[in-house]
Structure 1
Amino acid sequence: MPLLTELLGAIGANRIEVVDLTAPLTESTPILQLPEPFANTIPFRLEQISRYDDAGPAWYWNDIHTGEHTGTHLDAPVHWVTGREGHDVSQVPLSTLVAPAVVLDVSERVAAEPDFLVEVPDVRAWEAEHGALPEGGWLLLRTGWDERSTDAERFLNADANGSHTPGVSADCARWLAEETPLAGLGVETVGTDAGAAAGFDPPFPCHHYFLGAGKCGLTQLRNLARLPATGAVLVVAPLPIVGGSGSPARVFALVER
């Protein structure tokens, strides 16, 4: 039996589950809030062109107003100054967009400490239990933060001292980007970096190191709790925007049951 026929049969028979990891795009989708004097992206918005009316009696359609980095989205290398000579979102290799994925679950530790940072020993301990990180694959960080994703205030979790969301330490970000075979890092939070990352050295180290290494980021993922620690295949479908630094994306995983 041809492999693709076998794959479709396994999906139809529920031996392979397709798990949607994407947060729906609405006007209330949380977006990153940078402090002054930095500029911010716009919220997602639909502008109706026609809806079975005089402007279009038999059809409904809209213009889309959004930023590249809104909702569940892909960060391409060119998004950061360290990756400025790298791929734009239209150039990201298909081997990165369809690739193996593993899940590091730190949700219990994040529940006790929203500012929790993953360190190199945490990943080493995961490898000791599950094996090496996948060549050309994705590390997906499960923090449980997707539970907050429909409430922008709880999701961004900011106070007078800044945002308090989990992430990866600067040392761990450098190690993952430069010394492992990963193609990218995926998270449930608004950005790949922790809420306090503006004060790290370097600032925003996941962006600095991953994008500088020609790798990618994925943000605002959902349903990572439904994925196994190893064995899933990640599929990322961004808009191929020529010159784009990123794009909202439909992201899903294939999981053998």
Structure 2
Amino acid sequence: MSALSAFAAALAGGGIEVVDLTAPLSAQTPVIALPPQFAQTARFELEELSRYDDRGPAWYWNNFRTGEHTGTHFDAPNHWVTGADGDDVASVPAARLVAPAAVLDFSAEAAADPDFLLEVDHVRAWEAEHGPLPAGGWLLYRTGWDARSASQEEFLNADDTGPHTPGLSPECARWLAEEAPVLGLGVETVGTDAGAAHSFDPPFPCHAALMGSGKYGLTQLQNLDRLPPTGAVLVAAPLPIVSGSGSPARVLALVERG
């Protein structure tokens, strides 16, 4: 049996489970809120064109409007000034959209401290237990933040000092971009950076370092608790928007069940 035939048989027989890591996309989907002096991204909107009526008697369809970085979405290198000359989302090689994943679970730490930051030492300790991060794969950072995704306020978790959501330290962001073998970072929060990253040095270090290194981001993932620490394969499928800086994406994980 060929490898693809064996894979198809495992899918059909339940030996491989497909886990959807994508948040539902609707007008209620939380969106990032920037300071008022900056342009704001659009919430998702549907405009009905017809629904089996005089506008179209046999078909239902809609226009939609949304920001590139709304809901579960893919960050391309050109999203940040450090990657301005890098790939747009349509230029990301298709082979890089299917890759192995490592899941680092720091949900307990994030529950105790919403400003928790992942450090290089945390990753090294995980590697000592589970093995090296996958070359050409994803680091998926589980914080349990997807449990807040039904509420804009709980998801952004902002007060007078700004948002409070977990992320990476500047040192960890640089290490992930420049030294780690992965091609990108996936998170459950509204963006790859911590809520307080506007005050870091440099500001928004995940965006600056990852995009500047030609790496990618995935945000607003769900169901990471259903994945093993190692062994899952991620399928991240953004729309190939020409010159786009990112796109809402359907993100699936393939998990072997013994």
Task: Give TM-score scaled by structure 1 length.
Answer: 0.99
Letter in structure 2 aligned against 1:217: G
Give the corresponding residue for 2:148: 148
Q: How far apart are the structure 2 equivalents of 1:3 and 1:106?
A: 35
Letter in structure 1 aligned against 2:109: R
Give the corresponding residue for 1:68: 68
Q: How far apart are the structure 2 equivalents of 1:134 and 1:40?
A: 35
Q: Unaligned 5+ residue runs, structure 1?
A: none
Correspondences of 1:199-238 after superposition (within 5 Å): 199-238=199-238
Give the corresponding residue for 1:128: 128
Give the corresponding residue for 2:45: 45
CA displacement 1:29-65 (0-9 Å, x = unmatched): 0000001211111100000011111110100000011
Letter in structure 2 aligned against 1:57: P
CA displacement 1:102-135 (0-9 Å, x = unmatched): 0010000111000000001000000111111111
Give the corresponding residue for 2:106: 106
Q: How far apart are the structure 2 equivalents of 1:240 and 1:104?
A: 29
Q: How far apart are the structure 1 equivalents of 2:170 and 2:93?
A: 26
Q: How far apart are the structure 2 equivalents of 1:217 and 1:152?
A: 21
Sequence identity percentage: 69
CA displacement at 1:196 relative to structure 2: 0.2
Letter in structure 2 aligned against 1:45: E
Q: How far apart are the structure 2 equivalents of 1:190 and 1:41?
A: 12
Letter in structure 2 aligned against 1:63: N
Q: How far apart are the structure 2 equivalents of 1:3 and 1:110?
A: 40
Give the corresponding residue for 2:168: 168
Corresponding position: 1:57 with 2:57: yes
Letter in structure 1 aligned against 2:121: P
Regions of 4+ moved over 3 Å: none
Q: How far apart are the structure 1 equivalents of 2:217 and 2:96?
A: 11
Report the secondary structure of 2:182's partner residue: coil
Letter in structure 2 aligned against 1:48: E
Give the corresponding residue for 2:84: 84
Letter in structure 2 aligned against 1:211: M
Letter in structure 1 aligned against 2:249: A
Report the secondary structure of 1:7's partner residue: helix
Give the corresponding residue for 2:32: 32
CA displacement at 1:95 relative to structure 2: 2.7
Q: How far apart are the structure 1 equivalents of 2:166 and 2:72?
A: 17
CA displacement at 1:3 relative to structure 2: 1.6
Q: CA RMSD, aligned part only?
A: 0.6
Q: Unaligned 5+ residue runs, structure 2?
A: none
Q: How far apart are the structure 1 equivalents of 2:96 and 2:182?
A: 9
Q: How far apart are the structure 1 equivalents of 2:82 and 2:154?
A: 31
Give the corresponding residue for 1:180: 180
Report the secondary structure of 1:6's partner residue: helix
Q: How far apart are the structure 2 equivalents of 1:95 and 1:134?
A: 15
Letter in structure 1 aligned against 2:56: G
Give the corresponding residue for 1:117: 117
The answer to whether the 8 A contact 1:95-1:136 is kept is: no
Letter in structure 2 aligned against 1:34: L
CA displacement at 1:4 relative to structure 2: 1.4
Task: Give TM-score scaled by structure 2 length.
Answer: 0.99
Q: How far apart are the structure 1 equivalents of 2:94 and 2:61?
A: 30
CA displacement at 1:15 relative to structure 2: 0.7
Q: How far apart are the structure 1 equivalents of 2:93 and 2:229?
A: 24
Letter in structure 2 aligned against 1:178: E
Q: How far apart are the structure 2 equivalents of 1:153 and 1:238?
A: 26
